[in-house]
Amino acid sequence: MCGRFNITHLPGLQGLLDELNIGLTLPEPRYNVAPTEDVLLLHEGHADFARWWLVPSWAKEVDTKYSMFNARAESLASSPGFRKPFRSQRGIVPMSNFIEWRAESGQKQPWVITNDEQTIAVAALWDVWHGAEAPLLSCTLVTTQAADAFRPWHNRMPVMLTQQERARWLDNTQSIDPNDPILAPVLKYNLTLYPVSKAVGRSTEKDPELFEPINDSVILRA
């Protein structure tokens, strides 16, 4: 599951863009990015902003009737909305960290999740809808079942690509099997998690200070 994330100016993000040969001046840092907002999408050798909630090319209209901001890895090859993008329209949404909520003492506590580089390359699918005057580029984040160590936070997690996996995921000339290890429910690298202000539960809250740790961090080891 991934419903909020942050993207900031960190060396790891610029390194990711350089690694993928994408020339880009990084946009302003963004906090508490939520579904239906525009996100940075890396695809076909360049970067664009895309609506974070997939609108299939065949859709009659832009709506949020169905939850299309995440795509379950288990149904990528069979879902009408995801199977074509899975074959030939794969991309990456970069983020510095993402947020999950865990039940603690009867309340939902938000936790920030990141890695050592504070740069996570999340597998994404994209499509273009032509039902309006201008084409609409949109995307969805691919999720898989949670690794055992991650389950106390959520039963699903985004597919986080390693450096070795990124180029293959972006190579849309080659298909990827639904059972490929890329989509496996395992931790591919260590994750650092720390609790933050409950105020981030409101997507309108964009203050960077809300994402400072309010207690000790936890490290999940791959």
User: What are the catalytic residues?
Assistant: 2, 100
Q: How far is C-alpha 123 from the chain's CA centre? A: 7
> Which candidate, 101, 94, 118, places its Cα nearest to that of 192?
118
Give me the amino acid identity at 170.
L
CB 6 within 8 A of CB 31: yes
Rg of the chain in Å (alpha carbons): 17
E strands, the chain, where?
Answer: 5-7, 30-33, 38-43, 46-52, 70-72, 90-95, 97-104, 107-114, 120-129, 136-145, 156-158, 191-195, 218-220
Strand (E) or helix (H) holding 15: helix 11-19
